[in-house]
Amino acid sequence: MKSHYRVVVIGGGVVGASVLYHLAKFGWTDVCLVERSVLTAGSSWHAAGGFHALNADPNIAALQAYTIDLLEEIEEESGQSVGMHMTGGLTLAGTPERWEWLQSAYRVFQTIGIDDCRLVTPEEAVALNPVMSGDGILGGLWADREGYIDTTGTVHAYAGAAKKLGAQVIEHNRVIELVEKPDGWEVVTEKGTITCEHVVNAAGLWAKQVGRMAGIELPVSPLNHHYLITDSIPEVAELDRELPMTVDLEGFTYMRQDQNGMLVGIYEIDHDHWMMDGAPWDYGFELQQEDLGRIENELMLGFQRYPCLNDVGIKTWVNGAFTFSPDGNPLVGPVRGKRNYWTACAVMAGFLQGGGVGKSLAEWMIHGEPEADVYGMDVARYGDYAQNKRYIKETTGQFYSRRFVMTYPNEQLPAGRPLKMAPAHSEMSAAGCKWGVSYGLEVPLYFAPQGFEETPSLRRSNAFEIVAEESRAVRENVGLLDITGFSRFEVSGPNAARWLDHIMASKLPAPGRARLAPMLGENGKLKGDLTVFNWGDETFWIMGSYYLREWHMRWFRDHMTDGVKVRDLGDEMVGFSLSGPKSREVLQRVADTDVSTLPFMGCAEMDVGLVRAKVARLSVTGELGYEINCHASDHIALRRLLVEAGKDSDIREVGFNTLLSLRIEKSFGIWSAEFTQGYTPGMTGMDRWIDWTKPFVGKSMAEAERDGNGPPQVQVTLEIDAKDADASGYEPIWRNGERVGFVTSGAYGHTVGKSLAMALVDPSCAEVGTALTVHIVGDQRTARVIPPSPYDPDGKAMRL
């Protein structure tokens, strides 16, 4: 062990070994891995070792595909067998709803580029897995690239390949303390102190403690997970091929072959947390006693699906802990405020995702950005609210118990809620508000009659007419929307304008004006679709997506210069928007100034009744509108004031489901759908806001796209001949049998009376009138490219 390394990776499981390997592979060879015991002594040694190519998040699916390809490479590079069994995989549907979901998911996988999967009939499913019962099976999804590996061999293959590249593995050496220094970290271990520039927390079951060593409270918790391994089964031994990996979603089980027997794992409804503050330091190769009473119901379903289990003994029970995050995805990336402290934690599917996690983190450390869009596993998707122990327990437990439970896009889950609420939450609830959640905050979806409950569905739900009524209210009169769920950042200081001009690709707004502002990374891809406000007093606001608060604050901090202060106002400032042709008359009744003098995209401070507010004339509904921002303590008073002032104008409170319909009619994109850090300005149309005459972050790469061959795909608006379901996102788009793009978001446009979608398609298919087809909930529907903004294409309503 040396006294100094460039990087110290803490944790000798599959994730830590993968990070070490990729750092060395990409050229950082002065790196070491420190393990408190021996490699695999945590969750890795008792993992079932299955791998699956399929994931609903296309970016994570791509990283899983990378991991599968990598396994054979590290086997060759290290000389250590990974014990790969490429058996293929089968996912079963046992209810009409699940079969419909599986057909829809199959089309999403086509969008992702997973072409080696297909839908199968019940008869085909039984032929593929002849030891299972076909009772209740309505269909299945087959994937070629699924199977299992030897978990211990795989960890040693990663580590062995890393060592051949010059990395070092140090076992039997527990990390005791982390000390932050101006130029890096001191890693205090049992065998001495190591100084380094970067620290990676890949500590698995001990990630909580290693986070606390740096003053970080990570939202992770271990939960126990059961699987069993049988004695030899005659029906299995007689087969001339290996059984496929099989997931029985209604039975809560997964199965693979193990020698001439079977391994059957269970995701039980009655979950079991274990050592929420982290595993004991001397824990390693132990397991918990099996708890058959807790898994009895799911176990019965497993024995019904595989009748041969009733006639053989169980050789081994495994009840071991794995670490989960609130949504089940990994926590990867740099932590704001802790320079060069990196996380690679909560990788529940470590042998499936570990390669992709290691690749992305190594790229991030070396190049400043990972190649893939990894927001779905970015540690910055959570904020301080997620540090609460009860929140962690409820959400991780909910994820575990629902691992094989079908979740609908319009379904609202209860764990960790309600947590953060706008001040007027109770009054809005009394008015019929139905709530969703964003970054721990309750956000309004729509307002319904007393006693109404929305039915979860992949198709148009029973809230369809409610959203239609709210849409008509905005288009014809005026709608009131709680906009607490927008992020707000105050930028001040003598260099505020200069700093903003550098990180934003657009021109800055003049005093008293607002401007749409794309923000780019050094790679020329998007980092935000933001709005910048110049209040005219040498302070600016940046407004964006509420759930990106931590993510954007980390970006701002990483690009900070002297003479600039950025303050997150997300818990301090709230507000309401007025949208619709009567919005001006409502605001005028309570404002202390002539609001007609406020121009489109203008902003000013004014008194609204007794409330001192910051008001901007803009709206994402495509109507005349105003965003009225106030202090949290004024939120209730502002709502009461606007509701009363709007009575004679037929004001109606609306929610974000209505906003989706209205903005789709205007071809207005949003983050996480039309705009992501995986897309470029040219792909999304955001290049029209760029000021090419000035220097800004990411300019050279953006210019290369502009002056080169152009973007590989471009954004269009589609009209779809839908029946009782609308596009939502990632549905594949076809032309003459060839996949040419995918939907980014969709909804029914209640004003124009059409099912609409925004999409990224090949440039050759972007011409207005191009005939296409789209799969909606598995059904192929005809579609055509239409001009953008099917409602009010000239934008006259916004500029009244």
First and final C-alpha spacing in the chain: 71
Does any domain span residue 283?
no
**Cβ–Cβ < 8 Å for 91, 114:** no
Backbone angles phi, psi at 748, to 5 degrees: -85, 130
- Secondary structure of residue 625 in the 3-state scheme: strand
781 secondary structure, DSSP code = E
The phi and psi torsions of 140 (rounded to 5 degrees) equal: -155, 170
> What average pLDDT does this structure show over 642-669?
98
Q: Where are the beta strands (DSSP E) in 313-451?
A: 314-324, 331-334, 341-345, 433-438, 441-447
CA dist., res. 364 & res. 383, Å (int):
21
Q: Give the mean model confidence (pLDDT) for residues 484-502.
A: 98
Residue 178 lies inside a defined structural domain of this protein = yes
pLDDT at 114: 85
Mean pLDDT of 501-515: 98
- Sheet containing strand 625-631, edge to edge, reads 603-608, 611-616, 625-631, 573-579, 478-482, 651-653
* pLDDT for 747: 98
Strands (E) located in 35-167: 50-51, 89-93, 117-120, 139-143, 147-148
Query: Rounded mean pLDDT of 646-659?
Result: 98
Residue type, 560: M
- Give the strands of the sheet with 526-534, arranged side by side: 513-520, 526-534, 540-545, 486-492, 565-568
Which stretches within 504-652 are classed as H helix? 549-558, 583-590, 635-645
SS3 (DSSP) at 122: helix
Calculate mean pLDDT across residues 495-520.
98
Provide the whole-model pTM: 0.96
Q: What is the pLDDT of residue 630?
A: 98
**What CATH number corresponds to the domain at position 348?**
3.50.50.60
Distance CA 511, CA 501 (A): 14
pLDDT at 53 over 90: no
Residue 461 in any domain: the answer is no
**Residue 287 amino acid letter:** L
Q: Does residue 264 have a pLDDT over 90?
A: yes
Residue 591 CB: number of other CB atoms within 10 A? 20
Q: Which residue carries 């794995």 as its tokens?
A: 322
Interstrand relation of 714-720 and 651-653 (parallel, antiparallel or unpaired): unpaired
pLDDT at position 560 is 96
Q: Which H or E element spans position 14?
A: helix 14-25
For residue 548, name the pLDDT band (cuts at 50, 70, 90).
Answer: very high
Per-residue pLDDT for 54 more than 80? no
Segment 416-428 mean pLDDT: 98
Whole-angstrom distance, CA of residue 210 vs CA of residue 196: 16
Q: For residue 361, which of 381, 383, 345 has the smallest C-alpha distance?
A: 345
The encoded tokens of residue 113 equal: 């580029």
Q: Sorting pLDDT into bands at 50, 70 and 90, what band is 60?
A: confident
Give the pLDDT band (50/70/90) at residue 423: very high
> Which residue pairs, CB below 8 angstroms and at least 24 apart, start in 598-601?
598/626, 599/513, 600/798, 600/799, 601/509, 601/513, 601/514, 601/515
Q: Which tokens go with 303?
A: 């024995």
pLDDT tens sequence across 569-586:
999 999 999 999 999 999
Contact (Cβ atoms closer than 8 angstroms) between residue 425 and residue 482: no
Q: Which two tokens stand for residue 180?
A: 């932050």
pLDDT tens digits, 584-623: 999 999 999 999 999 999 999 999 999 999 999 999 999 9
How far apart (Å, rounded) are the C-alpha atoms in residues 483 and 499? 27
Domain residues for the domain of 175 are 4-83+149-219+327-379
Stretch 288-316: mean pLDDT, rounded? 96
- The one-letter code for the residue type at 422 is A
Asked if residues 780 and 726 have their Cβ atoms less than 8 Å apart, the reply is no
Find the range with the poorest average confidence among 63-67, 78-82, 292-296, 384-388: 63-67
**Is 137 part of a structural domain of the chain?**
no
79 inside domain: yes
User: How far apart (Å, rounded) are the C-alpha atoms in residues 319 and 299?
Assistant: 14
Residue type, 793: P
SS (H, E, C) 222-275: EEEEEEEEECCCHHHHCCCCCCCEEEECCCCEEEEEECCEEEEEECCCCCCECC
CA 601/CA 2 separation, integer angstroms = 59
Q: Name the domain count of the chain.
A: 1
Closest CA to 216 of 379, 5, 363: 379
Q: Is 497 exposed, middle or buried (0-12, 13-18, 19+ CB in 10 A)?
A: middle
What is the C-alpha R_g of the chain? Answer: 27
Q: Is residue 367 part of a domain?
A: yes
Q: Two tokens at 103? A: 């057909």
Cis bond before residue 418 (omega within 30° of 0): yes
Query: What's the token pair of residue 54?
Result: 């399929």
User: What's the mean per-residue pLDDT of the chain?
Assistant: 96
| pLDDT single digits (tens) 662-674 | 999 999 999 999 9
Q: Per residue in 674-732, pLDDT tens?
A: 999 999 999 999 999 999 999 999 999 999 999 999 999 999 999 999 999 999 999 99
pLDDT at 207 over 80: yes
76 located within any domain = yes
**What's the token pair of residue 117?**
């999967």
Spatial separation of the C-alpha atoms in residues 532 and 507, rounded to whole Å: 10
Kindly tell me if the per-residue pLDDT of 112 is higher than 90.
no
Asked whether the beta carbons of 488 and 543 are under 8 A apart, the reply is yes
**For the chain, what percent of residues have pLDDT higher than 90?**
96
| In the predicted structure, residue 56 carries a pLDDT above the cut 80 | no
The span from the CA of 261 to the CA of 233, in Å, is: 5
Q: Looking at residue 61, what is its pLDDT?
A: 84
Q: Where are the beta strands (DSSP E) in 439-556?
A: 441-447, 478-482, 486-492, 513-520, 526-534, 540-545
Q: pLDDT tens, 34-52? A: 999 999 999 999 999 999 8
Q: Which pairs with CB-CB distance under 8 Å and at least 24 residues apart come from 614-619?
A: 614/533, 614/535, 614/541, 614/573, 615/587, 615/591, 616/514, 616/533, 618/514, 618/531, 618/798, 619/577, 619/579, 619/583, 619/798
In a domain, 71, yes or no: yes
pLDDT at residue 115 tops 90: no
Going by pLDDT thresholds of 50, 70 and 90, the confidence category of residue 497 is: very high
